[in-house]
Amino acid sequence: MLVTLVHLITGAADLAAAFLFMYGLKRMSSPVSAPSGIRVAGIGMLVAVLANFLQVFTVDAAAKPHLWVNIILAVVALSLGASVAWFKGRTVAMTEMPQMVAIYNGLGGGAAGAIAGVELLGNKTHGLTQLIVTLLGGLIGAISLSGSVIAWAKLDEILKKPMRFKGQRYLNALVFLAAIAVAGYIAFSVDNGGVTLLPIQSVIWIFFGLTLLIGILMTLPIGGADMPVVISIYNAATGLAVGFDGYIIQDPALMIAGMVVGAAGTLLTLLMAKAMNRSVSNVLFSDFGDVSKQKKSKMTGSEKPVEASDAGIFMRYAASVIIIPGYGLAVAQAQEKLYEFVKLLLAAGVKVRFAIHPVAGRMPGQMDVLLAEAGVPYDLIFQLEDVNDDFATTDVALVIGANDVVNPAARTDKSSPIYGMPILNADKAKRVYVVKRGQGKGYSGIENQLFYEDNCDMVYGDAQAVLVKMIESVRGLGAAAA
């Protein structure tokens, strides 16, 4: 009777958790409702976790001696994980957010791979179908773990350059085929009573070693400018691995959560790849950002530096301004100063909007989060397709820390690695001001043609210091008038 009641409660809890996951994801589709969507999905996860503890009442008598040890270990693990995540979530700087997302996503993949490993090493799979699903979960989870760790290292600039060598793609393919062959060997051996030349556990460890190596080899050659897409790919992979694990351990909530994350991550990946006018395979297997292969285009003209105060005054008397935020804004933690400057322009009757490129920053949606953190109203924020045609009639385009997403070479220079990528048409504005820390190239290392255009002026300096000067110059006009 008790076992039946537990199954009814956990079934209802799984159904409730699944609804909360999907409803939360739906609310995350809008910046306005995203915070509540995150809370709703979090409640769904809490419901699913707590419901699983009820399984203790269905444990066989033979397993009860180890029951309380396992419960204590689970509670300790959950407490440590929740404490670390809460602390890091509250204290992480916006510039470190991409790294945190990458490493946490990798840990999710690692957890999925670990579940598959426990099932395989403990010989807990039943039937060939479950065995194949377990191997797939282990394969995808391990790739997501090691690949996400390399992505984290690239974002944190521990690995500063793509690592490429001759015959790399052939090596990657060879390791992948070896992992598939070992997986096939495990499936054949286990399905035939575990008959194998090596101890089956050793073969399983070889399988996981190869899968971890695949993630490393796949991610090492990818350029830094592709990291937002890579994070999204591994996010989708982690979701898929979790969904497989849900099938393995017969947990409906885990299956639904994994499939929802996998589907959402896949759609996001396709949208971001489309925003770069590239396929996902091109992101994973091309040498994008390998500037050593780029034909050097001779830039005509020169970069023209101007004072921040002069740029600020010019924008004060403009009719319309479109602001393009980039990673440099996050590095300087200048989003609040930027909004302070925007409020001065709005008060003076200037029409101000923000233009967001889908791959601006180093993770999906980073610029939207950055502006939301500063309190910028959502009705001032526009995506590329909604604002791009307006640059031609705009007085000023203010670019802060963005590089590749405003590079006209994407439209005109067939030798450029970013040729064909949709960009924000900042160069078509009547006047362009680019706030930049120095004369170096952007994250991908590609020369920006915009900086040499006749209508473009460079405002060199840390974005926060530059914006403080702009604010002072505009306020000074008001004080002088009074």
**What is the mean pLDDT of the segment spanning 4-33?**
82
Yes or no: say if 468 and 443 are a contact pair by the CB < 8 Å rule.
no
Backbone angles phi, psi at 194, to 5 degrees: 80, 20
Burial of 76 (0-12, 13-18, 19+ CB in 10 A): exposed
Tokens for 215, please give them.
Answer: 């993630």
| Angle of CA points 148, 154, 155, to nearest 5° | 90
Residue 356 DSSP SS3: strand
Q: How far apart are CA 408 and CA 446, in angstroms?
A: 12
Q: What pLDDT does 265 receive?
A: 86
Report the mean per-residue pLDDT for the chain: 84
Q: Parallel, antiparallel, or unpaired for β 431-436 and 396-400?
A: parallel
Q: What pLDDT does 193 receive?
A: 62
Among 64-73, 171-180, 257-266, 299-308, whose mean pLDDT is lowest?
64-73
Yes or no: say if 328 and 437 are a contact pair by the CB < 8 Å rule.
yes
Q: 404 an active-site residue?
A: yes
Q: How far apart are CA 412 and CA 463, in angstroms?
A: 29
State which amino acid sits at residue 423. Answer: I
**What is the mean pLDDT of the segment spanning 210-239?**
87
Among 188-192, 200-204, 353-357, whose mean pLDDT is lowest?
188-192
pLDDT at 415 over 60: yes
Q: What pLDDT does 340 receive?
A: 95
Q: What pLDDT does 457 receive?
A: 94
Q: How far apart are CA 164 and CA 139, in angstroms?
A: 24
Q: What is the pTM of this model?
A: 0.80
Yes or no: say if 151 and 119 are a contact pair by the CB < 8 Å rule.
no
More confident residue, 65 or 253: 253
pLDDT at 136 over 60: yes
Q: What pLDDT does 319 receive?
A: 95
Q: How far apart are CA 244 and CA 219, in angstroms?
A: 23
Confidence bin at 289 (pLDDT 50/70/90): very low
Q: What pLDDT does 49 receive?
A: 84
pLDDT at 25 over 80: yes
Q: How far apart are CA 310 and CA 218, in angstroms?
A: 47
Helix, strand and coil content of the chain, in percent to the nearest 5, comes to 65, 5, 25
More confident residue, 466 or 276: 466
Cα 336 to the chain's mean position, in Å?
Answer: 23
Confidence bin at 177 (pLDDT 50/70/90): very high
24 contacts: CB under 8 Å, gap ≥ 6: 37, 38, 39, 40, 41, 42, 44
Confidence bin at 270 (pLDDT 50/70/90): confident
258 contacts: CB under 8 Å, gap ≥ 6: 112, 239, 240, 241, 242, 243, 244, 245, 246
**What is the mean pLDDT of the segment spanning 40-52?**
86
Yes or no: say if 297 and 413 are a contact pair by the CB < 8 Å rule.
yes
Q: What pLDDT does 291 receive?
A: 46
Confidence bin at 287 (pLDDT 50/70/90): low
Q: How far apart are CA 52 and CA 367, in angstroms?
A: 37
pLDDT at 365 over 90: no
More confident residue, 403 or 67: 403
68 contacts: CB under 8 Å, gap ≥ 6: none
Q: For residue 302, is it left (φ>0), alpha (ψ between -120 and 50) or beta?
A: beta
How many alpha carbons lie under 13 Å from residue 174 in its C-beta half-sphere? 5
Among 56-65, 167-176, 251-260, 369-378, whose mean pLDDT is lowest?
56-65
pLDDT at 72 over 90: no
Yes or no: say if 461 and 438 are a contact pair by the CB < 8 Å rule.
no
Q: At what angle do helices 335-347 and 308-316 cross, to 10 degrees?
A: 40
Which of 198, 74, 194, 52 is CA-nearest to residue 125? 194
Q: What pLDDT does 268 receive?
A: 84
Q: How far apart are CA 467 and CA 465, in angstroms?
A: 6
More confident residue, 67 or 27: 27
**What is the mean pLDDT of the segment spanning 222-248?**
85
Tokens for 43, please give them.
Answer: 């409640």
Which of 201, 222, 258 is CA-nearest to residue 362? 222
Which of 153, 461, 440, 158 is CA-nearest to residue 331? 461
Yes or no: say if 148 and 102 are a contact pair by the CB < 8 Å rule.
yes
Q: What pLDDT does 288 receive?
A: 46
Highest mean pLDDT among 44-58, 105-119, 467-481: 105-119
Confidence bin at 425 (pLDDT 50/70/90): very high
Q: What pLDDT does 394 receive?
A: 96
Task: Supply the DSSP symbol for 386.
Answer: H
**Residue 43: C-alpha distances to residues 79, 214, 280 (Å):** 16, 35, 33
33 contacts: CB under 8 Å, gap ≥ 6: 27
Confidence bin at 418 (pLDDT 50/70/90): confident
| Angle of CA points 74, 247, 127, to nearest 5° | 110
Cα 310 to the chain's mean position, in Å?
Answer: 37
Confidence bin at 303 (pLDDT 50/70/90): confident
Confidence bin at 382 (pLDDT 50/70/90): very high
| Angle of CA points 413, 417, 420, to nearest 5° | 60
- Catalytic one of 404, 413, 427, 462: 404
